[in-house]
Amino acid sequence: MAAGESGARSRLAFLDGLRGVALVAMVLNHTARWWIDEKMTVGRYALIYITLTIAAPTFLFLVGFCMPMARGVTSESLGALARRLVPRGARIVAAGLLLNLIVFRDESILSGGVLQTIGISIIAMVPALWLLRFSWAPWALLAVAVAGYALFAAAYPALEGFVEAHPQVGLVLFYDFPPWPWVSLVLVGLVLGRSWLAAHRRAAGARWLAVAAVIGTVLVVAFFVYDWWAASAMRFGMRRDFILNRHWTPRLPALLWIFGVLLLQLAAAYWVMERRGWRLRWLVVLGQTALVLYFFHQIIAYTLVREWLGWRFNAWPGFWLANAVFLVLLVGAAWAWRELRGRIARARRPALASLG
**pLDDT tens across 136-191, in order?**
999 999 999 999 999 999 999 999 999 999 999 998 999 989 999 999 999 999 99
Which pLDDT does position 68 carry in this prediction? 92
Closest listed residue to residue 50, CA positions, set 77, 73, 85, 22:
22
Q: Given a cut of 80, is residue 113 above it in pLDDT?
A: yes
190/314 Cα distance (integer angstroms): 41
Model pTM? 0.91
Lowest mean pLDDT among 71-80, 100-109, 258-267: 71-80
Which pLDDT does position 335 carry in this prediction? 94
Overall average pLDDT of the 319-344 stretch: 92
How many CA atoms within 13 Å lie on the side-chain side of 265?
A: 23
- Report in angstroms the alpha-carbon separations of 188 from 68, 142, 159, 343: 12, 6, 24, 36
SS3 letters across the chain: CCCCCCCCHHHCHHHHHHHHHHHHHHHHHHHHHHCCCCCCCHHHHHHHHHHHHHHHHHHHHHHHHHHHHCCCCCCCCHHHHHHHHHHHHHHHHHHHHHHHHHCCCCCCCCCCCHHHHHHHHHHHHHHHHHHCCCCCHHHHHHHHHHHHHHHHHHHHHHHHHHHHHCHHHHHHHCCCCCHHHHHHHHHHHHHHHHHHHHHHHCCCHHHHHHHHHHHHHHHHHHHHHHHHHHCCCCCCCHHHCEEECCEEECCHHHHHHHHHHHHHHHHHHHHHHHHCCCCCHHHHHHHHCHHHHHHHHHHHHHHHHHHHHCCCCCCHHHHHHHHHHHHHHHHHHHHHHHHHHHHHHHHHHHHHHHHC
Please give the span between the terminal C-alpha atoms of the chain, in angstroms, as a whole number: 32
| pLDDT class of 302 with cuts at 50, 70, 90 | very high
Q: Given a cut of 50, is residue 7 above it in pLDDT?
A: no
Lowest mean pLDDT among 70-84, 104-118, 206-220: 70-84
Which pLDDT does position 9 carry in this prediction? 40
Q: Which amino acid is at 328?
A: V
Overall average pLDDT of the 38-57 stretch: 89
- pLDDT per residue over 221-252, tens digit each? 999 998 888 877 777 777 788 999 889 999 99
- Work out the percent of the chain whose per-residue pLDDT is above 90: 73
Residue 312, number of CB atoms within 10 A of its CB: 16
Which pLDDT does position 6 carry in this prediction? 38
| pLDDT class of 330 with cuts at 50, 70, 90 | very high
Which pLDDT does position 42 carry in this prediction? 83
Q: Which amino acid is at 229?
A: W
Lowest mean pLDDT among 68-82, 130-144, 164-178, 319-333: 68-82
* CB burial of residue 10 (10 Å; 0-12, 13-18, 19+): exposed
Rg of the chain over all Cα atoms, to the nearest angstrom: 20
- Work out the percent of the chain whose per-residue pLDDT is above 70: 93
Overall average pLDDT of the 28-43 stretch: 90
Q: Given a cut of 90, is residue 48 above it in pLDDT?
A: yes
Q: Given a cut of 60, is residue 270 above it in pLDDT?
A: yes
| pLDDT class of 11 with cuts at 50, 70, 90 | low
172/109 Cα distance (integer angstroms): 9
Which pLDDT does position 349 carry in this prediction? 63
